[in-house]
Amino acid sequence: SIDSMDNMMKRVTVAGVPPGLGSALQGHLEGSLGGIRLPGKDEHQHQREALIKEMMQDRKEEEVKMADMECRLREFIIEVVKPTIIRNTKLQSETEILQEELRSQRNKLQGVSNEMDTLKERSDIVLTFQGR
């Protein structure tokens, strides 16, 4: 990881001279470490870039997984909610039909009531003439 590379670089850096600069100190350090080649500045940068690239790839893969999960979750929600929406739409249509029928019946009832009033008046007139 980047942190372990940084820690290694700090341990190997002596007197402010990092390895990989071609100094005599680096040669001495390489000799004292049994011929182990320490990563130079370019190698360290390359490793860091490779690690960053790998992390970015992992992040992209995670984003794809999250997007896929989001799509599946949306489909599931639609599957669960769809019957309720259909039922509510039918109920709304039936309610509108019943409201229109109620208005129509109310108008008819008002017409019948008006006719009854008219017929009552006429009946009263007929009764008045019959009583004479």
What is the predicted pLDDT for the residue at 44?
Answer: 87
Amino acid at 43: E
Rounded Cα distance between 123 and 128, Å, is 8
Rounded Cα distance between 9 and 45, Å, is 12
Q: Is 109 helix (H, G, I), strand (E, B) or coil?
A: helix
What is the predicted pLDDT for the residue at 77?
Answer: 96
Give the residue extent of every domain in the chain: 1-39, 52-132
Output the pTM of the full model: 0.42
What is the predicted pLDDT for the residue at 37?
Answer: 56
Query: CB–CB of 37/31 below 8 Å?
Result: no
pLDDT tens string, the chain, 132 residues long: the values are 555 555 555 554 444 545 555 555 555 555 555 555 555 678 889 999 999 999 999 999 999 999 999 999 999 999 999 999 999 999 999 999 999 999 999 999 999 999 999 999 999 999 988 876
For residue 30 the two structure tokens come to: 């390489």
Rounded Cα distance between 81 and 117, Å, is 53
Cα angle, residue 81 at apex, residues 78 and 87 outer, rounded to 5°? 130
